[in-house]
């Protein structure tokens, strides 16, 4: 949590989101199994991808 607070300050994300708003925005990512039982990530919205990029975190891939 401390790292996230630091990164939010460093990247000015606090101008757009509170900590809870940011977590809520990323919380809606879903992980499910496809027909071959392989783990998959649901749709990643562009706003969510922007948050990951801003924080310097790799985007989630289709496999969880």
The model's pLDDT over 4-62, given as tens digits with 9 standing for 90+, comes to 999 999 999 999 999 999 999 998 888 888 788 888 888 889 999 999 999 999 998 77
Residue 63, pLDDT > 80, answer no
What's residue 42's pLDDT?
82
pTM of the model: 0.78
Exposed e or buried b per residue across 11-38, where buried means at least 16 C-beta atoms within 10 angstroms of its C-beta: eebeeeeeeeebeebbeeeeeeeeeeee
What's residue 22's pLDDT?
96
What's residue 64's pLDDT?
56
Quickly list DSSP for 33-50: E-TTS-EEE----HHHHH
Which tokens go with 38? 């392989």
């Amino acid at each position: 949590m401390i790292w996230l607070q630091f990164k939010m300050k460093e990247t000015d994300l606090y101008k757009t989101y509170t900590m809870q708003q940011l977590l809520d925005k990323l919380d809606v990512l879903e992980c499910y199994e496809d027909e071959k039982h392989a783990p998959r990530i649901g749709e990643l919205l562009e706003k969510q991808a922007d948050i990951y990029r801003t924080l310097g975190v790799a985007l989630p891939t289709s496999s969880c």
